[in-house]
Amino acid sequence: MIAELLNNVNSDIIMGMAQAGGAIVLCAAVVLLCRRFAVHVERETAISVARGLVQMVFVGMVLAVLLHGNLLVGVLILLAMTFAAAVTAARRARDIKGSLLLSFYAIAAGAGVVIAAMLATGTLTADIAVLVPVGSMIIANAMNACAQAVERFRADVTAHVGQIEAGLALGADPGVTVAPFVQSAVYASLLPRLDMLKSLGLVWIPGVMAGMMVSGANPVYAGIYQFVIVAMILAASGIAGVIVTLLMRTRVFSAAAQLTFAKGREAKA
């Protein structure tokens, strides 16, 4: 295993570290520019840059070891990524009971369905070197969709406590009282992915297509394949957004149809 790692410390890595050094210098220049406008992001930038570099080097090392693993190893890596994504998304809803599990279910469902569909249709091969990077893209987008849906839903519920309780007081089902906020949360989670699909090729040429072209693939096929990936990302995000919102909807009410979220109002009694 160590020999395999050492084999990867070649001239490419030394060149990569030099390029990373250049990028860090540019980031430092931006931080200095920010200081001139009294925007102090020195500490946060230093932590982010250090974390980003260490994490990516670590992931590269792990993948270098696991690249020759089987499908089960790939699935385990994706599961671990899904859990990490759920932890990140759940931070947006710490005040909602069981938010980690809700986020995990939603991200796992969104990414799981899409990855399974891609494997079934041959869009994705079971080769760990392809499965993990593409799967991680889908999981990351499902995580963002999940976090955006959670954030929007809790903000809307918090801002409309009076309207929701007015509905409950008139005998409405809890689901009816938050229906507009479920819709806006799902829409909010999909909007960035819809914009991404719309601007595909016009505003940006994503990494998968660029990588395929660099490695000599037909540019038209590379473009179509990139579209498939982004469309699958949209699908995964939609599933994750819908599921997390619907699960959250049940958590903000009690069994007796009482709004149990945003209880700060009781302080004034």
- Residue ranges in contact with other proteins by CB under 8 A: 162-163, 165-173, 176, 180, 254, 256-259, 263, 266-269
d(CA 168, CA 186): 23
Nearer of residues 73 and 168 to other proteins, judged by Cβ: 168
* Nearest distance in Å: CB 189, other proteins: 22
CB nearer other proteins, residue 38 or residue 267: 267
Smallest gap, in angstroms, from Cβ of residue 93 to other proteins? 19
Q: How far is the CB of 255 from other proteins (least distance, A)?
A: 9
CB 166, min distance to other proteins, A: 4
Q: Residue 97 or 263: which CB sits closer to other proteins?
A: 263
Nearer to other proteins, 50 or 166 (CB): 166
Helices (H), 160-264: 161-169, 174-177, 179-198, 207-214, 219-251
**Beta carbon nearer to other proteins, 104 or 253:** 253
Query: With respect to other proteins, which residue has the nearer C-beta, 16 or 175?
Result: 175
Nearest CB to other proteins, comparing residues 35 and 263 = 263
3-class state of residue 259 by DSSP: strand
Three-state DSSP class for residue 37:
coil
Nearest approach in angstroms of CB 59 to other proteins is 43
**To the nearest whole angstrom, how small is the minimum distance from the Cβ of residue 187 to other proteins?**
16
Q: Measured between alpha carbons, how far is 101 from 41 in angstroms, rounded to an integer?
A: 33
Measure the CA–CA gap between 146 and 105, rounded to whole angstroms. Answer: 10
CB 85 within 8 A of CB 102: no
State the minimum distance, in angstroms, from the CB of residue 262 to other proteins.
Answer: 13
Q: List CB contacts of 91: < 8 A, sequence separation 6 or more.
A: 147
DSSP state of 71: H
Q: What is the DSSP string of 244-257?
A: HHHHHHHHTB-TTS
Determine the Cα–Cα distance for residues 90 and 86; give it in Å rounded to an integer: 6
> What are the contacts of 177-183 at 24+ separation with CB within 8 A?
178/249, 178/252, 180/156, 181/152, 181/153, 181/156, 181/157, 182/153, 182/245, 182/246, 182/249
